[in-house]
């Protein structure tokens, strides 16, 4: 029987099988034979086993993967919905830019989503949109009042989407709005203990409708770049790429070189200052990493 892993916890894999039942499975054979760790989103072959208390089984094989994401760890995704809060917590655009680079590296199409628009002004919304609209699709939404949710539903249609972003930005709240039948636990960030009480700890795959899946993931708070050479970093900023052929020097890093078309575009306001500043900061970080 075939199915899809919707969650993995403590050595158990919960498989939504083609008979509509969720089986609690072990995957010992696969570890031993192929040394592959099953991931949420994996399509698998299972065999049910007798169990008095619940539907149970074994994962016998992992079907060929379309792709595997390392951060967050999921398989077979079509796109990432990168969620940041427009406010509360204040968006850390350096972390967002790191995350976008990581998705570029993993070749996953990205949609940026700023949640909690109910907390900001129209001017603040425009500023966020202007910073990213040159490079990615941007959605401004509020899981609290429903703004922009229809657009998100349309974007998700027929695809498997992983939702990723820092803790407390409303990823689980958005999941709940998109799928009223499943209620993910939502953290209360005003709670005294800093981390929030119902912070998501495991990735969970939710079937929104036929052929449309959504993976809620735990929040992250930092991300180090690796596997990128300093001189290639600009390639991970999609809005820099069209200007590069007009730079005077081949191998221009767009930092201190003269007659740099990227810096000209920046001066003309065609490249957002915040993106360029983060680029320079990250290039410096990569340079120092190499020295170590």
Ligand X SMILES: Nc1nc2c(ncn2[C@@H]2O[C@H](COP(=O)(O)OP(=O)(O)OP(=O)(O)O)[C@@H](O)[C@H]2O)c(=O)[nH]1
Which residues in this chain contact Mg ion in the complex, by CB under 5 A? 171-172, 200
**Residue 252 touches which member of ligand X, Mg ion, Zn ion, none, C-beta under 5-8 Å by kind:** Zn ion
**Which of residues 1, 22, 68, 144 is near ligand X by CB under 6 A?**
144
Q: Is 283 in the site for Zn ion (CB under 5 A)?
A: no
**Residue 262 touches which member of ligand X, Zn ion, Mg ion, none, C-beta under 5-8 Å by kind:** Zn ion
Q: Give dist(CA 212, CA 207) in Å, integer.
A: 6
Residue 225 · residue 123 · CB < 8 Å: no
Strand partners for 45: 2, 61
**Residue 167 touches which member of ligand X, Mg ion, Zn ion, none, C-beta under 5-8 Å by kind:** ligand X
For residues 167-186, which are near ligand X according to CB under 6 A? 167-173, 186
Q: Is 162 in the site for Zn ion (CB under 5 A)?
A: no
**Which of residues 24, 45, 78, 118 is near ligand X by CB under 6 A?**
118
**Which of residues 120, 260, 266, 283 is near Zn ion by CB under 5 A?**
260
Stretch that binds ligand X, among 10-18, 50-58, 139-147, 222-230 (CB under 6 A): 139-147
For Mg ion, the closer of residues 171 and 254 by Cβ is 171
Q: Is 128 in the site for ligand X (CB under 6 A)?
A: no
For residues 57-116, which are near ligand X according to CB under 6 A? 115-116
Rg (CA), the chain: 21
Looking at residue 168, the DSSP 8-state letter turns out to be T
Residue nearest to ligand X according to CB distances in the complex: 219
Residue 82 · residue 96 · CB < 8 Å: yes
Q: Is 188 in the site for ligand X (CB under 6 A)?
A: yes
Instruction: Select from 208, 115, 83 the least CA-distant residue to 157.
Output: 208
Q: Is 262 in the site for Zn ion (CB under 5 A)?
A: yes
Helix (H, G, I), strand (E, B) or coil at 272: coil
Q: How far is the CB of 213 from Mg ion (least distance, A)?
A: 17
Stretch that binds Zn ion, among 204-212, 221-229, 256-264, 266-274 (CB under 5 A): 256-264
Residue 130 · residue 272 · CB < 8 Å: yes
Please enumerate in sequence order all residues whose Cβ is within 8 A of that of 132, keeping only pairs 6 or more positions apart, or say none: 112, 138, 272, 275
Please enumerate in sequence order all residues whose Cβ is within 8 A of that of 27, keeping only pairs 6 or more positions apart, or say none: 13, 38, 58, 59
As a residue count, the chain comes to 292
Looking at residue 130, the DSSP 8-state letter turns out to be H
């Amino acid at each position: 029987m075939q199915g899809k892993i919707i969650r993995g916890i403590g050595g158990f894999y919960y498989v939504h099988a083609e008979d509509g039942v969720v089986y609690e499975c072990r995957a010992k054979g696969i570890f031993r034979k192929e040394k592959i760790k099953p991931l949420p989103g994996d399509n698998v072959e299972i065999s049910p086993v007798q169990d008095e208390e619940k539907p149970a089984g074994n994962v016998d094989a992992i079907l060929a993967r379309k792709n595997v994401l390392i951060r967050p760890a999921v398989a077979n995704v079509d796109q990432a919905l990168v969620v940041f809060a427009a406010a509360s917590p204040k968006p850390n655009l350096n972390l967002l830019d790191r995350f976008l680079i990581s998705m570029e590296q993993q070749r996953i199409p990205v949609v940026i989503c700023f949640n909690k628009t109910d907390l900001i002004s129209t001017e603040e919304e425009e500023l966020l949109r202007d910073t990213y609209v040159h490079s990615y699709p941007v959605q401004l939404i509020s899981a609290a009042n429903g703004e922009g949710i229809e657009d998100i539903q349309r974007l998700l249609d027929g695809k498997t989407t992983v939702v990723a972003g820092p803790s407390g930005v409303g990823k689980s709240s958005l999941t709940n709005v998109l799928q009223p039948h499943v209620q993910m636990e939502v953290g209360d960030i005003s709670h005294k203990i800093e981390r929030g009480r119902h912070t998501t700890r495991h990735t969970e795959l939710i079937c929104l409708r036929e052929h449309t899946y959504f993976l809620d993931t735990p929040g992250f708070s930092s991300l180090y770049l690796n596997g990128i050479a300093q001189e290639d970093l600009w390639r991970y900023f999609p809005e820099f790429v069209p200007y590069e052929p007009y730079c005077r020097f081949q191998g221009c890093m767009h930092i201190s070189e003269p007659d740099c078309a990227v810096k000209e575009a920046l001066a003309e306001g065609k490249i957002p200052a915040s993106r360029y500043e983060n680029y320079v900061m990250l290039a410096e970080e990569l340079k120092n990493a190499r020295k170590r």
